[in-house]
């Protein structure tokens, strides 16, 4: 499909770009169900992640090299038990590229986005992030990127259901603001990795030192301390959204049950099975 590359602005053959990296989709399937399901369309089985005709080959290759680095240097080591992760510039690039794809997808698909109070901020963010991703010019205004590593929820003291499932399994992305227009975040997560960027400061950003991604590299130590109201509030709201999402139809539930019955031991030993079991124990 011919079109304009969203990153470089040149006319080229567009690739059907993944919003979530391919290795994330592969891991999610391998450690749970063979299919993915959208929260807003639970009756539709998806054999791939969200995709959009977005980028040309050059941009895809740039992103792919950082995705490979993240998979090998952060994703696999953390899931294998590493508690201290040293990183270089590639982590900052990966975080920008992931959140930028969420941003540009919203810009291209939400026809009412221009009505939002923060539309101008999103446009300026897009300009800065594109310059960084394409020309290595660091953002000057929208440069606060963070990563939170999650794990099994051993104790749930809230009234929320499915906390473990959300924090360790769900793929989610959104632009988050508040009614008083004092905060704006771009947020994206997959498996046990939560990313966000602060576009309008709420206050308390000085408390993000444990989760902040430095542009030139650094070390992340786990467990991390997080005392930042906007993201804690957002996590509560997103988990609540999952909790209140419609169940799949009887037909789809029957298909899910048949998939589990094929090998129940394998399912309950999978990461998905352990997550669902853990949430049931916490609920009881």
User: What is the C-alpha separation between 284 and 274, in angstroms, rounded?
Assistant: 15
Whether 187 is covered by a domain: the verdict is yes
pLDDT at residue number 33: 65
| Domain range for 128 | 83-283
Whether 1 is covered by a domain: the verdict is no
Q: How many domains does the chain have?
A: 1
The series of mean pLDDT values per 10 residues for the chain, 284 residues long, is 94 91 91 58 46 91 96 98 98 98 92 96 98 97 98 88 92 94 97 98 97 98 97 95 74 70 80 85 68
Q: What is the pTM of this model?
A: 0.91
* Helix-, strand-, coil-residue percentages of the chain, each rounded to 5: 45, 20, 35
User: What is the C-alpha separation between 139 and 284, in angstroms, rounded?
Assistant: 47
Q: Is 203 helix (H, G, I), strand (E, B) or coil?
A: coil
Whether 42 is covered by a domain: the verdict is no
Q: Hey, which bits of 59-130 come out as E strands?
A: 84-87
Q: What is the pLDDT of residues 42-95, one digit of tens each?
A: 444 444 456 789 999 999 999 999 999 999 999 999 999 999 999 999 999 999
Q: Is 48 helix (H, G, I), strand (E, B) or coil?
A: coil
pLDDT at residue number 8: 96
pLDDT at residue number 284: 61
| Region for 162 from its dihedrals, namely left if φ exceeds 0, alpha if ψ lies in -120 to 50, beta otherwise | left
Whether 36 is covered by a domain: the verdict is no
User: What is the C-alpha separation between 273 and 278, in angstroms, rounded?
Assistant: 8
């Amino acid at each position: 499909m011919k079109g304009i590359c969203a990153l470089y602005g040149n006319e080229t053959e567009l690739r059907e770009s993944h919003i979530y990296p391919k290795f994330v989709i592969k891991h999610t399937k391998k450690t749970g169900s063979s299919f993915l399901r959208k929260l807003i369309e639970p009756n539709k089985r998806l054999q791939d992640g969200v995709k959009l005709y977005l980028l040309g080959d050059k941009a895809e290759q740039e992103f792919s090299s950082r995705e490979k680095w993240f998979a090998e240097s952060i994703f696999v080591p953390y899931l294998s038990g590493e508690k201290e992760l040293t990183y270089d510039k590639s982590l900052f690039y990966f975080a920008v590229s992931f959140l930028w794809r969420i941003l540009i997808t919203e810009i291209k698909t939400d026809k009412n986005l221009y009505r939002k109070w923060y539309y101008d901020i999103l446009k300026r963010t897009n300009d800065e992030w594109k310059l960084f991703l394409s020309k290595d010019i660091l953002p000057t205004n929208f440069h606060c990127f963070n990563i939170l590593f999650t794990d099994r929820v051993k104790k749930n003291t809230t009234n929320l259901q499915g906390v473990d499932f959300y924090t360790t399994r769900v793929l989610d992305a959104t632009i988050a603001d508040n009614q008083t227009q004092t905060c704006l975040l771009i947020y994206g997560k997959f498996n046990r990795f939560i990313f966000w960027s602060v576009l309008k400061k709420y206050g308390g950003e000085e408390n993000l030192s444990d989760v902040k991604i430095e542009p030139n590299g650094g070390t992340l130590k786990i467990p991390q301390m997080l005392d930042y109201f906007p993201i804690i509030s957002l996590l509560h709201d997103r988990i609540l959204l999952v909790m209140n999402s419609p169940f799949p139809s009887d037909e789809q539930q029957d298909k899910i049950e048949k998939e589990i019955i094929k090998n129940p031991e394998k399912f309950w030993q999978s990461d998905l099975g352990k997550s669902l079991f853990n949430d049931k124990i916490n609920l009881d």
